């Protein structure tokens, strides 16, 4: 199974610590990785079809403090589609003058929707097909970029149509909010004042967040499996869609 | 003025040497840089709004041999739009299930076309506006991805409509071919067997391409200013559109 990592914060925050935790799991997930960072409306998208353990791009992401309010990362174990750059998550498209970044964990069976609009897959994964369909249906539902609550309602209507084709855990952001949907496995966590020292589950590494944050900072993390010990990660319910803004999440509807 | 660099080759080739030459010129072009690499249908797009002289991303591109058949690089001196990630070239969109990468050097005046289709600018530059308009007009002209010659004819019709608004030197690729249009300054060069040692114009650096190539390799370079001494760079005519495939270029129509 692939691994997802999302981060949403009320102030630009780096994900070096969490990404290191995720990349450690790349042993079993050697079919590429990717990470998208929003900086305002702009996006940096780093993808590689090498494992996050050896990729020079992963090394850059682990050591360069890219500060962002919305981050989506993915390490891949291929279920559909060959191992190639065009099949590597996250995927990116533009809609309504906003970039959208999407990553998926799971496997959709017999999902062949009619893609009659402006969004066509470049690669051959079920995931990119699902993303193009989501973009198409969102474009049909709204003439311009709606507010976050309206978008949440639209997404809440669309999720079950994907979910019924199989496992559909996903992260989606447009730089305003980050949406997370779980069909099987996804966990979330909110960090806020007072910050504590925490340890990565899979690597011998600790950070004292109190020393690198201010009392006003709020950070939400979303991950397939909890990345740290000593913190109260909460499992998503099956079918749950949550929306994260300014470092805090809520049920989307 | 910004600087453009394009590379088109018949076998995946790295651009570390040429990019180093380009980045050296970043002193006067400190408003960001970017480079897009096609690998098959996939794209790696590295952008940074720091100067290519100091950016960690530029350092990665200078030292990691990313092999590609189509490369588009840009270093920016802002004329329109603030210095931000979303205003950094190259820009990327998807059309007909193919990614398109575009970079522009110049300045378009009073260019405010009606963007009624699926391509909207995320930032606020004339360049991204021109790219969105090009994508829109190409989408109108063809139902699916046409062959390279048909696309060349379409582009040859569209270029003068941009050119008449000001300086429009541009590079565009979809991973099948690379198109280059000059309104003022652009040069091209083809390297093929027998390869010779060459020296960068702006940096004390030489490469003997004979030692890193095979006799079948063909590489075309397109750059605002010649990057090397001892090589026969050819200036584009004003209004000239050339298309490069498999390391060799021709007039587009």
Give tens-digit pLDDT for B186-209. Answer: 999 999 988 888 988 888 888 888
Q: Under 8 Å CB-to-CB from B126, ≥6 apart: which residues?
A: B79, B80, B81, B104, B107, B108, B111, B166
Q: How far is A117 from chain B (nearest CA, A)?
A: 9
**Active-site annotation of B, residues:** 2
Alpha carbons within 13 A on the beta-carbon side of A169: 25
Closest Cα in chain B to A122: B97
pLDDT number for residue A27: 62
Residue B80 has pLDDT above 80, yes or no: no
Examine the pLDDT at B29 and tell me if it is beyond 90: no
B234 min Cα distance to partner chain A (Å):
34
Measured between beta carbons, the chain A residues lying within 8 angstroms of B43 are 85-86
Proportion of chain B above pLDDT 90, given as a percent: 69
CA distance A99 to chain B (A): 7
Give the Cα separation of B37 and A176 in Å (integer): 28
Q: How confident is the prediction for chain A on average, in pLDDT?
A: 92
Residue A80 has pLDDT above 80, yes or no: no
Ordered by where they begin, the domains of chain B are: 3-251 (3.60.20.10)
- Average of per-residue pLDDT across B120-146: 96
pLDDT at residue B45 tops 90: yes
3-state secondary structure of B71: strand
Q: Does residue A26 have a pLDDT over 70? A: no
Q: What is the rounded distance in angstroms from the CA atom of residue A236 to the CA atom of residue A231?
A: 16
| CB within 8 Å: B56 and A45 | no
Confidence bin at B44 (pLDDT 50/70/90): very high
Residue A250 above 90 pLDDT? Answer: yes
Q: Which of A85, A95, A115 to mutate to test the interface with B (most CBs of B within 10 A)?
A: A85
User: Residue range B56-77: average pLDDT?
Assistant: 89
Residue A117 has pLDDT above 90, yes or no: no
Q: For A33-72, write each residue's pLDDT tens digit.
A: 899 999 999 999 999 988 888 888 888 888 888 899 999 9
* Average pLDDT, integer, range B8-12: 95
A145-188 pLDDT tens trace? 999 999 999 999 999 999 999 999 999 999 999 999 999 999 99
Sheet holding A42-48, edge to edge: A42-48, A33-39, A68-75, A3-13, A218-223, A187-192, A234-235
Please give the residue that has the higher pLDDT: either B61 or A249: A249
Confidence of residue A82 (pLDDT cuts 50, 70, 90): confident
pLDDT single digits (tens) A9-20? 999 998 888 888
| Collapsed DSSP state (helix, strand, coil) of residue B221 | strand
CB atoms within 10 A of CB A140: 10
pLDDT category of residue A32 using cuts at 50, 70 and 90: confident
Assess B144–A contact: CB distance below 8 Å, yes or no.
Answer: no
Cβ contact A122–B42 (<8 Å)? yes
Q: How far is B64 from chain A (nearest CA, A)?
A: 8
Contacts of B60 in chain A (CB under 8 A): 56-57, 60
Cα separation, A244 vs A94, in Å, equals: 20
Residue A205 pLDDT: 83
Q: What's the CA gap between A105 and A166, in Å, rounded?
A: 11
Q: What is the rounded CA–CA span in Å between residue A172 and residue A102?
A: 5
Task: Please provide the average confidence, as pLDDT, over all residues in chain B.
Answer: 92
Q: What is the ipTM of this complex?
A: 0.92
Compute the average pLDDT of residues B237-250. Answer: 97
Grade residue A29 by pLDDT with cuts at 50, 70 and 90. Answer: low
- Please identify which of the residues A2, A95, A103, A252 carries the catalytic annotation: A2
The pLDDT value given to residue B213: 85
pLDDT at B28: 66
pLDDT at B98 > cutoff 70: yes
Nearest CA in chain A to B140: A118
A2 is catalytic: yes
Give CA–CA dist B80/A253, Å, rounded: 41
DSSP label at residue B201: S
CB-based contact, A60 to chain B, within 8 Å: yes
């Amino acid at each position: 199974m692939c691994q997802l990592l999302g981060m949403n914060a009320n102030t630009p925050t780096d994900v070096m610590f969490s990404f290191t935790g995720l990349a450690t799991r790349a042993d079993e997930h050697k079919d590429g990785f990717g990470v998208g960072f929003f900086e305002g409306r702009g996006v940096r998208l780093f993808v590689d079809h090498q494992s996050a353990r050896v990729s020079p791009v992963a090394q850059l992401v682990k050591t360069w403090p890219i500060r962002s309010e919305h981050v989506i990362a993915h390490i891949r174990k291929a279920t559909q589609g060959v191992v190639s750059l065009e099949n590597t998550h996250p995927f990116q498209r533009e809609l309504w003058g906003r970039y959208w970044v999407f990553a998926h964990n799971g496997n959709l069976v017999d999902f062949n929707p009619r893609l009659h609009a402006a969004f066509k897959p470049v690669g051959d994964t079920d995931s990119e097909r699902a993303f193009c369909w989501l973009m198409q249906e969102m474009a049909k539902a709204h003439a311009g970029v709606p507010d976050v609550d309206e978008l949440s309602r639209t997404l809440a209507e669309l999720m079950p149509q994907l979910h019924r084709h199989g496992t559909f855990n996903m992260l989606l952001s447009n730089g305003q909010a980050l949406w997370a949907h779980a069909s099987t496995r996804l966990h979330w966590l909110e960090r806020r004042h007072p910050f504590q020292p925490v340890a990565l589950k899979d690597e011998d590494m600790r950070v004292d967040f109190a020393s690198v944050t201010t009392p006003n900072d709020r950070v939400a993390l979303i991950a397939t499996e909890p990345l740290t010990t000593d913190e109260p990660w909460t499992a998503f319910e099956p079918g749950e869609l949550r929306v994260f803004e300014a470092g805090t999440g809520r049920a989307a509807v």
